[in-house]
Amino acid sequence: MTNSKLLFSLLLAGTVGTVSAQSLKDARAAIEAENYGKAKTILQKLVSKQPKNGDNYFYLGQIYLVNDRADSAAAIFNQGLTNDPKATINNVGLGYVDLMKKDKAGAESKFALATAKLGKKDYEPLLEIGRAYINTPEPDYAKALEYLTQAKEKNKKDIAIPLALGDAYRGLKEGSLAYTSYGEAMDIDPNSVQAKVGQAVIVRGAQAYDEAVTQLEAVAAETPTYAPTYRELAETYYQWSKAPGTSDEKYVELNKKGVEQYKKYLEVAGDNTLEAKIRYADFLVYARQYDELKTVSEELAKNPDVDPKIYRYLGYIAFQSAKDYPKAMEYLDLMFSKMEKDRVIPLDYMYLGMSQIAANSPKAVAPTAAAGADSTATAVDSATTAVDSAAVATAPAVTPENEANIQKGIANIKKAIEGDKELLAEVAELAFAKYQDQELQTAVSLFELVGQYKDSPYYFDSHYYAGEGNYQIGFKKDSGSKDAEGNYVNQELRNGAIANFEKAQTELTIIETTDNKEAQDKYLINALYYKAFSALGADNLEQPTGDFVAPFQKLIETINQRGTQEKNKAYLIDAYTYIGLFHLIKAENPQAKTNFQKVIELDPANEAVQGYLEALK
C-alpha cells in the first residue's frame, strides 16, 4: 500500500474544546508541526490532570492513529466517552478507527451518533469526519466534501476547513477547486504555510514533479521551521521515482534525495521517539531503501517492546539484501502472528509469497540461447539440440511439498495485488530479476501470475517469459530424464518436462495470436521459435505427430515477410532442419529434400544435413 496518508497521517489544525486553552494549544501546535512525540506527552498530562475533559482524549487518540495503533486509539476514544459522555467528538474518533479497519457501516453509525445533536454553531465533528474520510486507507473524498461543506456553512473563519476542502478536492483530481480552497485558507491567514504546501502538492498530483519540488523548496526556504514541507518533499521524490520511464539510476538518485528530505523532516519536527523512527522505517519500506532500513531496523530491534512492524522490516531485508528466503519467511510469519490484521499491508503478503516461492524453488541454471540465436544445430536426433546441454546444471526437481508451498506463495502475492494493483509492476520487476538470477521456477511462477492481469503493462512480457522459462525448465527436466545414450529412464521427470513444454506453448500462443503490434515486433519471432521447440520437446520423436511443424513454418514465413533472414539465419536453419527431419521420418522424401536444400543454401558446410541429402539420393 503506497498511501502516504497512513504513513504521515493527519495535520490537525482544527479547534476542539476550549478548556486548558494554553496546554491544548501547545498540543495542537505540536501536532501541526508533526512532532507527535511532544504532542503525545502534552496530551497524556492533560488527560491525567483533567480526566473529565473528553476533548483531550480525542486529540490523544489521533496520535495513536498517526502511529498506526488503531486498537489503542479506540481504547482512548472510549475512555473519553466514559469520562465525558457529552464529548461525542470521540465517536468521530471511533468512526475513524472503523474506517481504518475498512468497516464503513460501523463508521457511518459512529458518525451519526457524533452529529445527532449538533447545535447551530457546532462544526468540529463535521470537520473531523471530513478529515477521517480523507485520511482513511480507502479515501472517500466525495463523502468528505459532504461533511466539510456542512462545516463551512457553520463556520467560515476556521482555516482548518478550507485546508481540508483543498485536500478533498485534490483527492478528487479537481486541481482548480483545490487551489481555490487553499487560496481561501490564505485569505484567512496569508502566512499559512500549510496552504502553500497544499498548492505545491497539487502540482505533484499532475505529475509535474520537478515543479512541485521547486515550489516546496521555495516554501522550505521561506519557512525552514515547518517540518511537513520536508515530508512532502520526501513523498514527491518517492512518487517521482515511480514515474513511467524512470531509469534505474534515476530511481536510486530520487529515492536517496527522498531519504535525505525525510531525515530533515524528523530533524526539524524534533521528534526522536520510537514511533517517529517507525514512521521513518515505513517510508524506507515504500521507497525501497533497504540499506538504510537495515540500519534503522537493527536499532529498533533493541527495544524490548518493539512494534511487530520490526519483523516486517527484518523480513524484507532478509529477502532483498541477504536473499535468505527461509529467514524472511520466519520473520514475516512472526509479524503475521503478532500484528493486528488491519495493520497488515499488501506488501507484506507480497514478500511472504515471494519468500515462499523462492525458498521452495530449486535454482536452475538457464540454458544458453537457443541454437538459432548464435550458431547452427549440429545434432538433429532430439529436441535437446535447441540448447547447449552443457549449460544446464543439475538441480533437484520440485517436490510435491515444494509445489504446495509455491502455490501458497502465489496465493499470497495475488492477495497483495488485489489489495494494491500498483504492486503488479513490482512483481513483474522481481520476476525479471529472478530470471536474470537463473531462478527460473520462481520467475516463471511470477510471470504466470502477472500474465493473469490484462490491464498490466507487463501482460505480454509476462506471457513471453513464462513461455520461454517453461521451455527451459522442461528442457532441463527432459535432459535429466535420460541416460547417457539418450534413452528415457525416468518417466516421472519426462512427464514433468512434457507438462512444462505444453505450458510454454500455451503462453507463447498469446504472443502469436495477439494483434498488438508492439508485442509482436518485440517477441513474435522468438515466441514462434520457442513454441516450435516446446512442441518438438513434447513430441514422441520415434513416431512424431509433427505439432512442431506449423510453428516452424510460421517462423520461416514471419522472418521472410520481415526481411530479417540474415539476422535470423540460424533460426531458419533450425526450422528447415526439423521440418525436413519430420518429412524424412514420415518417408515424405520430396518435402524432406526441399527443406534440407534450404538448409544447405543457408549453411553449405552443414555436414549433418549433407548426410541426409546424400541418403535421399
Tally Cβ neighbours within 10 Å of residue 116.
10
- Which residues are CB-contacts of 413 (< 8 A; sequence separation ≥ 6)? 349, 350, 353, 354, 357, 427, 446, 449
Rg, the chain, Cα only: 31
Residue 388: pLDDT band (50, 70, 90) is very low
67-76 pLDDT per residue, tens: 889 999 999 9
CA 12 centroid distance within chain = 30
Per the document, the length of the chain is 617
Measured in degrees and rounded to the nearest 5, phi and psi for residue 614 equal -65, -40
CA atoms within 13 A on the CB side of 390: 1
Give the pLDDT score at 28. Answer: 86
Measured in degrees and rounded to the nearest 5, phi and psi for residue 364 equal -105, 135
Give the pLDDT score at 379. Answer: 28
Residue 40 near residue 60 (C-beta atoms within 8 A): yes
Give the pLDDT score at 242. Answer: 86
Residue 151: pLDDT band (50, 70, 90) is very high
**Average pLDDT for 181-194:** 95
461 pLDDT more than 90: yes
State the Cα angle at 139 between 332 and 421, rounded to 5°.
50
C-alpha to C-alpha distance for 43 and 60, rounded to whole angstroms: 6
**Average pLDDT for 183-187:** 96
368 pLDDT more than 70: no
Measured in degrees and rounded to the nearest 5, phi and psi for residue 482 equal -115, 155
Tally Cβ neighbours within 10 Å of residue 3.
15
**Average pLDDT for 567-574:** 96
Give the pLDDT score at 397. Answer: 57
Residue the block writes with cell 466534501: 145
Residue 136 near residue 101 (C-beta atoms within 8 A): no
393-441 pLDDT per residue, tens: 344 556 788 888 888 999 999 999 999 998 998 899 889 988 998 888 8
Give the pLDDT score at 396. Answer: 52
Residue 486 near residue 382 (C-beta atoms within 8 A): yes
Domains and CATH numbers, the chain: 1-190 (1.25.40.10), 204-288 (1.25.40.10), 363-396+458-615 (1.25.40)
C-alpha to C-alpha distance for 314 and 300, rounded to whole angstroms: 10
C-alpha to C-alpha distance for 332 and 344, rounded to whole angstroms: 11
471 pLDDT more than 90: yes
Residue 514: pLDDT band (50, 70, 90) is very high
Read off the C-alpha cell for 453. 492481469
Give the pLDDT score at 43. Answer: 94
CA atoms within 13 A on the CB side of 20: 19
Identity (one letter) of the amino acid at 138? E
Give the pLDDT score at 262. Answer: 93
504 pLDDT more than 60: yes
Cα four-point dihedral sign 275, 312, 205, 66: negative
263-313 pLDDT per residue, tens: 999 999 988 888 899 999 999 988 888 888 988 988 888 886 778 999 999
What's the mean pLDDT when you consider all of the chain?
88
Residue 23: pLDDT band (50, 70, 90) is confident
Closest CA to 602 of 536, 556, 543, 561: 556
Give the pLDDT score at 363. Answer: 58
CA distances to 331, 357, 441, 529 from 445, rounded to whole Å, are 23, 8, 6, 22
CA distances to 88, 179, 450 from 238, rounded to whole Å, are 39, 23, 24
105-119 pLDDT per residue, tens: 999 999 999 999 888
| Cα-based torsion angle of the residue sequence 470, 472, 477, 481 in order, rounded to the nearest 10 degrees | 130
CA distances to 283, 312, 432 from 421, rounded to whole Å, are 19, 20, 18
Give the pLDDT score at 178. Answer: 96
Read off the C-alpha cell for 616. 535421399
| End-to-end CA separation in angstroms for the chain | 70
Give the pLDDT score at 398. Answer: 64
Give the pLDDT score at 347. Answer: 93
Least confident of 77-86, 157-166, 433-442, 464-473: 433-442
C-alpha to C-alpha distance for 412 and 419, rounded to whole angstroms: 11
Give the pLDDT score at 365. Answer: 37
C-alpha to C-alpha distance for 328 and 332, rounded to whole angstroms: 6
Query: DSSP assignment, residue 88?
Result: T
- Which residues are CB-contacts of 597 (< 8 A; sequence separation ≥ 6)? 613
Output helix, strand, coil percentages for the chain, rounded to the nearest 5.
Answer: 70, 0, 30
C-alpha to C-alpha distance for 238 and 254, rounded to whole angstroms: 7
Read off the C-alpha cell for 69. 495503533
337-357 pLDDT per residue, tens: 999 888 899 999 999 999 998
